[in-house]
Amino acid sequence: VVVGAGFGGIAAVRALRRAPVEVILVDRQNYHLFSPLLYQVAAALLDPSAIAQPVRALLRRIRNARMWMAEVTHVDLERKVLSTRQGEIEYDYLLLAAGSVTNYFGNQSAAELALPLKGLPDALAVRNRILTNFEQARWTDDTVERRRLLTVAIVGGGPTGVEFAGSLSELVRNVLRKDFPGMDLGEVRVLLLEAGDSLLTAFAPRLRRAAEGALRRKGVEIRYRALVQQVAPESLELASGERMAVGAVVWTAGVRAPQLGAGLGLPVDRAGAVQVEPTLQLPGHPEVFVVGDMAALEQDGRRLPMLAPVAQQEARRAARNIVALEGGRPPQPFRYFDKGIMAAIGRNSGLAQVGPFGLSGFIGWAGWLFVHLLLIVSLRNRLFVFLGWTWDYLFLDRPVRLILRASQKARPEKFHHDGGDVEH
Ligand SMILES: Cc1cc2nc3c(=O)[nH]c(=O)nc-3n(C[C@H](O)[C@H](O)[C@H](O)COP(=O)(O)OP(=O)(O)OC[C@H]3O[C@@H](n4cnc5c(N)ncnc54)[C@H](O)[C@@H]3O)c2cc1C
């Protein structure tokens, strides 16, 4: 049984396609999400269906795998049984790849009022809030209130915060400016609040400076040592005591492993990820493998980062280890092959770092576009993403800027979970 149809889960199922095993893939959603482009849904650049793929479609040609949609609530390691609201699922081998949840670092007000950017419902909520605020701002003659509505605070200067800030600023400057003739751009603020004193700490200092320059040119206000202490419905307060009136707080400050891992009752790290053996097995339970964001593993003295390629490579190793165990052979340790990291900061500006080499500016951006197009799982989605990008680039236009809310009545009771990948 594979839990999670994200980067790890799908890679594992694919790696097991010719193995003499039967695979059950369990996910609480019926789609696989390409999270690296999630911020582009929030910034009204891409349609949700361009970055999500139905899991059943991905499994169509994989004869030994079936999908069961359910939220796994508990793992009984002794009985080898998973609990879900729909019923129990027994396993011989278990591969846990349930990803991560938004980390509010214990800030209760942020958990309640900030908008996370983790799942598709979150991205749509951010898009709705920002577009609604712009509409609302049209109705008010009160300058202070209008400025509040037009202020977006993005919390966390990691890749998601930086990429979203760049793309949001372009939405405002290139697209909404035309939608709202007469709008004073000086009243719009995109704030990027970083608790530390640097953005994108995984990148080399030269690339970080390039990112900062690109964001500032796009009109993003970057604030360092800006630790958010309290989020209120219409404002936020920093640890320094400074208060800011805001129309939306988008929380991109980090992720941590889900409760499912901690619930196993085995040692977890600071981010709540389960400590695994080098073979990705759970200590004392050789039939259970944990991969991706849920797994804590060190390589050369450093914890492997929570990244899609780590999840995919771990999943392939775990799948091969399951086949080895079935064949009576010993499982092999995992070794991560780092192909580099990238980030895009809007039009014509991106970063790429491969070992000691770094690229920024237009070349970094072109490289980012190319690599991300290749990584998208289906041809259809690749085409739709390419079309969305080209349209935006050529016409400075984002046709998916719809304010779209699902009716509350549409929620099926049994499959309902907390609306995204959020855990408070
Ligand atoms: C906004 C954003 C941008 C990112 N950008 C990048 C990037 O550019 N490059 C990069 O390398 N990484 C990026 N990441 C990180 C990357 O998405 C993760 O490291 C990767 O998805 C981890 O893979 P995974 O298989 O562990 O989990 P996921 O891909 O998150 O998959 C987990 C799956 O498990 C399912 N699930 C969770 N709990 C349960 C449950 N209890 N029962 C059933 N199903 C469950 C979920 O629905 C989901 O489908 C980004 C993450 C985010 C949030």
Percentage, residues of the chain above pLDDT 70:
96
Q: Kindly name the residue from 163, 170, 212, 423 that is annotated as catalytic.
A: 163
Integer Cα distance of 82 and 72 in angstroms: 7
Confidence check: pLDDT of 136 > 90: yes
pLDDT value of position 424: 31
The residues, ordered by sequence, that sit 6+ positions from 322 with a Cβ below 8 Å of its Cβ are: 16, 19, 21, 93, 95, 289
- Confidence band, pLDDT 50/70/90 cuts, at residue 407: confident
Task: Select from 126, 165, 146 the least CA-distant residue to 41.
Answer: 126
CA-angle at 89, arms to 30 and 418, nearest 5°: 45
**pLDDT value at 401 more than 70:** yes
Tell me, what's the pLDDT at 414?
64
**In the predicted model, what is the mean pLDDT of residues 169-197?**
94
Active site residue 163: yes
Pocket test for ligand 1, best of 7, 72, 337 (most atoms within 8 A of CB): 7
Mean pLDDT of 189-205: 96
Per-residue pLDDT tens digits for 259-282 = 999 999 999 999 999 999 999 999
- Concatenated DSSP letters of 356-404: TEEEEHHHHHHHHHHHHHHHSS-HHHHHHHHHHHHHHHHH---TT----
- pLDDT tens column, 304-356: 999 999 999 999 999 999 999 999 999 999 999 999 999 999 999 999 999 88
Residues 6+ apart with CB under 8 A from 420: 116, 118, 119, 120, 121, 122
SS3 (DSSP) at 113: helix
The answer, yes or no, to whether residue 410 has pLDDT greater than 70, is: no
Say if CB 322 and CB 16 are below 8 A apart: yes
C-alpha 175/C-alpha 195 separation (Å) is 30
Q: Ligand 1: which residue has its CA nearest to atom 15?
A: 307
CB 423 within 8 A of CB 102: yes
Q: Which residue has the tokens 């309290």?
A: 230
Going by alpha carbons, the residue nearest to atom 19 of ligand 1 is 307
Q: Which residues touch 130 (CB under 8 Å, ≥6 apart)?
A: 152, 168, 171, 247, 248
- Give 65-98 pLDDT, tens digit per residue: 999 999 999 999 999 999 999 999 999 999 999 9
Among protein residues, the one with the nearest Cα to ligand 1's atom 7 is 36
State the burial class of residue 287 (Cβ atoms within 10 Å of its Cβ: 0-12, 13-18, 19+). middle
pLDDT at 412: 60
229 burial type by CB count under 10 A (0-12 exposed, 13-18 middle, 19+ buried)? middle
String of b and e for 334-356 (b: at least 16 CB within 10 Å)?
A: bebeeeebbbbbbbebbbbbeee
Q: What is the mean pLDDT of residues 140-154?
A: 97
Question: What residue type is 353 in one-letter code?
Answer: Q
Q: Could you give the CA distance from residue 422 to residue 424 in angstroms, rounded to a whole number? A: 6
Q: How confident is the model at residue 418 (pLDDT cuts 50, 70, 90)?
A: very low
Confidence of residue 221 (pLDDT cuts 50, 70, 90): very high
From 25, 40, 73, 307, the mutation candidate for ligand 1 (largest count of ligand atoms within 8 A of CB) is 307
Beta strands at 94-96 and 101-102: parallel, antiparallel or unpaired: unpaired
Q: Compute the distance between CA of residue 28 and CA of residue 40 in angstroms, rounded to an integer.
A: 23
pLDDT of 417 reads 55
Burial class (CB in 10 A: 0-12, 13-18, 19+), 308: middle
Cβ–Cβ under 8 Å, residues 149 and 136: yes
Ligand 1 shell residues, CB under 6 Å: 3-9, 26-29, 35-36, 38-39, 71-72, 97-99, 117-118, 159-160, 258, 260, 292-294, 306-309, 311
Task: Please check whether residue 260 is in contact with residue 290, taking contact to mean a CB–CB distance below 8 angstroms.
Answer: no
CB atoms within 10 A of CB 422: 18
Please write the tens of the pLDDT for every residue from 377-388. 889 999 999 999
Confidence at residue 198, expressed as pLDDT on a 0 to 100 scale:
96
Q: What is the pLDDT of residues 360-374, one digit of tens each?
A: 999 999 999 999 999
pTM of the model: 0.95
d(CA 117, ligand 1 centre) in Å: 12
Average pLDDT score over the chain: 94
